[in-house]
Amino acid sequence: MSGDVTPPTPRTVPSSAPRPPAPCSCPTGSMIFRELLPKEQYEELQQRRAEELNKHKARTRSVLSSLLFAPSNTPLQYPIQGFTVRPLTPTLIPGLALKRSSYKVSLNVSRSVLATESPSERVKVKGDGESALTVESSSLAELNDLLAKVSYSSTVYHIHTGDLAHFQYENHEAVFPIVIQQPRLPVLYDMGKDISSQVSIVTKTFLRCRELNVLLSSIRRFYDNINVIIADDSFEPQSITGEHIQHYIMPPAQGWFAGRNLAVSQVTTKYFLWVDDDFLFTEETKIEKLVEVMEAVPDLDVVGGSVNGNQFVFSLLYEEGEEEDGGCLNRKSNGKFHPLPDFLQCSLVSGVVNFFLARTDAVLQRVAHSEFFMDGLGSLLVASCSHVSIGHQPKASGSQDKDQARYNAFRHPGGGDQELRLKLHFYKNHLKCVCFG
């Protein structure tokens, strides 16, 4: 024997595979942008939008969205992945067929009704418009033709749920999933032509007006028209004015959670750069380099830099554990997974220092620092880069130190706050334990 293995016959996509969507119709009274925008602006915007949409698709689509079909090791052919329907919308089930000379199949679902076209005289259909459909025929070709026209329609409106379809023939039964999902509108940002239309700088301040003013002066040395958004929960906030500055006064001592959410909620650019109020922009603080990484790797949600040359990264290792006890979370300081392809100065990590560029739409609903990355575990893709750095202002000495003492009391609260934090992780994150390494 030669030992050669005959390669498998390639499977073709059945003719009943979904067709590309047809153009949509604009209702009467719609504003038609092609008609309203000047022609030269429209064409440029359309080109940039197309590029942005491709990046959006790269972020939101994966191999798990591909339509796959069951191999022919059973007489039943059916979709095994990627079949998604809109709520309350009849949709043909692609690839549904019988592959042997048999005559009777049944299809059962629980959250929908099934329907097909009127059969010929040689095909019998029972349960049309119900949740259990039986098709019987003396002709396999006609039976398969009718199966290709079976449609699924959910009966209850839900924007993200699913169903299981049971497809049966004699002693063979297959089960395949159906995703019921309302399509989302893309969230696209016009990147414009300069860094100020791409990035907003965001910070939260508390009892550190002097440090904040030093930070603002350092920003303006390098970026004179970039927008800076400040959330301020000081007891006696001082007025911060100037072009391209948004200063939001909060009730006193609301904390990082509330301040960060407020500041980020005001961002209108594709990205925001988070900085602490006592950082210092230097010649090494090149926001453009972080944007370059994010634009080149659309899967990334957050990319951090270094502070005074130190990256301060960590990795999170999570085990779900038993249902009763909860999971185990291990945070490892300086933990990195591997370098980011094409950017060897950057590594994939779980969390970064408080100097990072983030996608606004990916991060908008998340909070605080370690908790920010814990909540994002499994949904935020994070990297840290050594080639972009920011400075840290030296600690003030001497007298101010009424404000500094007051600040420290809030910055480093007592054991009661730590207890509350641990309760939060235990309950909210369903953890059995957490390790801060």
CATH number at residue 199: 3.90.550.10
324 domain-assigned: yes
Is 44 part of any domain?
A: no
Check residues 184 and 299 and name the one with the higher pLDDT.
Answer: 299
Same domain, 330 and 305: yes
39 domain-assigned: no
**pLDDT at residue 236 tops 50:** yes
Among the candidates 138, 153, 181, a domain finishes at 181
Pair 124, 268 in one domain:
no
In a domain, 123, yes or no: yes
The per-residue pLDDT for 1 is 37
Average pLDDT, the chain: 81
Q: What confidence category does residue 400 fall into, taking pLDDT thresholds of 50, 70 and 90?
A: low
Question: For position 367, what pLDDT does the model report?
Answer: 41
Range of 8-17, 66-75, 86-95 with top mean pLDDT:
86-95
Q: Does the pLDDT value for residue 301 go beyond 90?
A: yes
Does residue 398 fall inside a structural domain?
yes
Please tell me the predicted confidence (pLDDT) of residue 245: 95
CA 371 – CA 363 distance, rounded (Å): 12
Q: Write down the pTM of the prediction.
A: 0.75
Which amino acid is it at 244?
Answer: H
**Per-residue confidence (pLDDT) for residue 15, from 0 to 100:** 43
Q: Are residues 396 and 313 in the same domain?
A: yes
58 located within any domain? no
In a domain, 34, yes or no: no
DSSP code string of 366-415: --SSHHHHHHTTTT--EEEEEEEEEEEPPPP-SSTHHHHHHHHHHHS--H
Report whether pLDDT(2) > 60. Answer: no
Q: Which of 181, 206, 241 is the last residue of a domain?
A: 181
Bigger pLDDT: 307 or 380? 307
Residues 151 and 233 in one domain: no
Write down how long the chain is.
437
Mean pLDDT of 350-366: 83
Residues 150 and 117 grouped into a single domain: yes
- In the three-class reduction of DSSP (H, G, I as helix; E, B as strand; rest coil), residue 421 is classed as helix
Greater confidence, 25 or 219? Answer: 219
Q: Are residues 294 and 210 in the same domain?
A: yes
| Domain identity same for 227 and 295 | yes
Given this model, what pLDDT does residue 304 score? 95
Here the tokens at position 149 are 């026209």
Examine the pLDDT at 6 and tell me if it is beyond 50.
Answer: no
Contacts within 8 Å (CB) and 24+ apart, 158-167: 158/87, 159/87, 161/111, 163/109, 163/110, 163/111, 163/112, 164/109, 164/110, 165/78, 165/93, 165/107, 165/108, 165/109, 166/106, 166/107, 166/108, 166/109, 167/76, 167/78, 167/96, 167/105, 167/106, 167/107
The answer to whether residues 171 and 233 belong to one domain is no
pLDDT confidence band for 113 (50 / 70 / 90): very high
Q: In this structure, are 245 and 393 located in the same domain?
A: yes
320: pLDDT confidence band, cut at 50, 70 and 90?
confident
Average pLDDT over residues 290-299: 94
pLDDT at 25: 67
Mean of the pLDDT values across residues 27-43?
74
Which of 168-172, 247-251, 276-280, 321-325 has the weakest average pLDDT?
Answer: 321-325
pLDDT of residue 192: 85
pLDDT given at position 225 = 94
Q: The domain containing residue 118 runs over which residues?
A: 66-181
How confident is the model at residue 119, as a pLDDT? 76
**Statement: residue 420 has pLDDT above 70:** no
Residue 66's CB: how many other CB atoms inside 10 A? Answer: 9
Q: How confident is the model at residue 402 (pLDDT cuts 50, 70, 90)?
A: low
The domain boundary, picked from 148, 181, 214, lies at: 181
Mean pLDDT across 261-278? 92
pLDDT in tens, 68-81: 666 656 788 888 87
Q: What is the pLDDT of residue 406?
A: 58
* 160/232 same-domain check: no
Give strand pairing partners of 91: 152
> How many domains, the chain?
2
170 and 253 in a single domain? The answer is: no
Whether 300 is covered by a domain: the verdict is yes
Distance between CA atoms of 286 and 143, rounded to whole angstroms? Answer: 65
Of residues 207 and 306, more confidence is placed in 306
Q: CATH number for the domain including 175?
A: 2.60.40
**Is 127 found in the same domain as 210?**
no
